[in-house]
Structure 1
């Protein structure tokens, strides 16, 4: 008779509960987490879109202060303010769909939210492919538009939006002309006599060459006599120009633009990737929530 009996064997294999209600409770908690996560993120973008819209509207309403700040007329500033306002409205509309669809668990709104995000993502991908494959043609088209704008600079006083936008580009990029300041020789309204030589717009003025910290805005005032005999301004109500022999930027805007893109390439690519990943994340959450809401609730109703 065997009296040596060891301790009872305890199984180390975990036992999982086969209760369907426990599984449904876990799935419901996961969906609730996704729902509120989607709601919070879209609420943030709704507020962000509202701020962008308010900023664009503020520029339109308080145009005088912004015009005096940037030193330009209102036409290009008005264009950018409209772009900001429209972008803010679209961001608010898209975020509102995500907020209401996630909070109220409405499959139609979640599906519409997913569709709009997918359309936006596809548009961005298409634009990126077109820009990369048609880069040479795009550069040639931009060059044609710029040279045409330079040739007809201030020729028509009623249509000055393109000229003012190009003035702003020269001022921001610190350049003159597309290839070089010699491009302005073709401008009919800036041709001087043989003694004066060709003229260029005041946006070509290099304030750092003369330690003039205020720079561009002073050129639109008749206070530049201290710059010497070579900087005599030809200034009317719609035109401000100075001789090409004065202190101007000697680099063309094409080269300045290439330098700017090269210096900011990592930031541009990082922002594009961040936006794309964010859109993919929102699309994944919305479609997951949209596809699983009714299935979970049907199963819960079956076990009750």
Structure 2
């Protein structure tokens, strides 16, 4: 019965190792997803960042990139720790899991908070930006962002094309008679903004604010969902994972100076429960398994070691042997 129980325990450990391996794989895939969303947001959509009053949108994307990269590195560490059954690597792995959980949760919450006040910020800031900063000295980034915004979303002005009547650029000589920037035109050519007929420029109900608000809201929801979703996934590892880690720590002899009971069988390279008469008592030493007393060879690594606060007395050992027989 004892031999059968040990084999059953060995299979359980193998099962838990594979379970943790599968969890770590999905964890790594989640990190790659977070990293991809963050990079895509900055690379493809960074043209609109300069016309936003708040940097929360960009901050959320940068946090996602950082946490995604950290997840992927941690995933590789997890694979190595599982394969090698290294206690120190496993400890580092679980600590990083906690850090990543908190970082991704912060990114998701930031994205959600910014989503709540997005509409108000755009209404207050975009109209003023178009009127005061477009084509002004030192505002090259804003100018490029506004031009790209109007071309990408096929819109003109913050609320309508009439917003450009109060623009410092349109009122200046530099405009050369333009009533709207050339980027408002359906077909962009030099000084096409002099003619504001609907056949020439974009006339969109709600203007660019409505288009940009919907665009940013969709992406903020995506970033928030990815960040919080992956954080929740990482915050719920397999239930038996902690117990398996404890078993590995014991099997690797991580508790220095404790006492353990080991059982030895004559099978080559195998140490496990067999007969109670084979029991030996020794000291559990770090990375050395069971150091047996009065045993040759003196060093024997056991598959299963049960730490004890003190070595069993001769009476206890004798009782166990008698019970085994």
TM-score tier, shorter chain, comes to 0.5 to 0.7
Report if the CA contact (8 A) 2:64-2:227 is conserved. Answer: no
- 1:144-155 to 2 correspondences below 5 Å: 144-155=124-135
Task: Return the offset for 1:205.
Answer: 1.3
Distance 1:186 1:18, change over 3 A: farther
Task: Return the offset for 1:190.
Answer: 1.0
Report if the CA contact (8 A) 1:27-1:296 is conserved. Answer: no
Which digits, 9 at most, give the CA deviation of each residue in 1:39-90, with x for residues without a partner?
Answer: 4345556777888899899x7xxxxxx9xxx9x9xx99xx999998985564
Equivalents in 2 of 1:33, 1:39: separation in Å?
Answer: 10
Corresponding residue for 1:37?
A: 22
TM-score (norm 1): 0.58
**From 124, 127, 137, the counterpart of 2:110:** 127
Report if the CA contact (8 A) 1:114-1:286 is conserved. Answer: no
- 1:209-228 to 2 correspondences below 5 Å: 215=187, 218-219=188-189, 222=190
Which digits, 9 at most, give the CA deviation of each residue in 1:98-142, with x for residues without a partner?
Answer: 22134214233222332233213422452355246x43xx42222
Task: Return the offset for 1:185.
Answer: 0.9
Task: Return the offset for 1:21.
Answer: 1.4
**From 237, 252, 275, the counterpart of 1:285:** 237
Equivalents in 2 of 1:297, 1:163: separation in Å?
Answer: 61
- 2:93 aligned with 1:110: yes
Corresponding residue for 1:190?
A: 170
Equivalents in 2 of 1:56, 1:122: separation in Å?
Answer: 18
| Unmatched tracts of structure 2, length 5 or more | 83-88, 252-302, 308-325
- SS at 1:190's partner residue? coil
Which digits, 9 at most, give the CA deviation of each residue in 1:118-173, with x for residues without a partner?
Answer: 213422452355246x43xx422222221121112445332221222122222222
- 2:211 aligned with 1:256: yes
Larger relative contact order (Cα-Cα within 8 Å, sequence gap ≥ 6): 1
**From 71, 76, 81, the counterpart of 1:99:** 76
- 1:143-182 to 2 correspondences below 5 Å: 143-182=123-162
Distance 1:283 1:44, change over 3 A: same
Distance 1:171 1:282, change over 3 A: same
TM-score (norm 2): 0.55
Task: Give the number of equivalent residue pairs.
Answer: 238
Report if the CA contact (8 A) 1:38-1:99 is conserved. Answer: no
Equivalents in 2 of 1:110, 1:116: separation in Å?
Answer: 10
Corresponding residue for 2:196?
A: 244
Report if the CA contact (8 A) 1:171-1:203 is conserved. Answer: yes
Report if the CA contact (8 A) 1:198-1:244 is conserved. Answer: no
Task: Return the offset for 1:94.
Answer: 2.1
Distance 1:101 1:268, change over 3 A: same
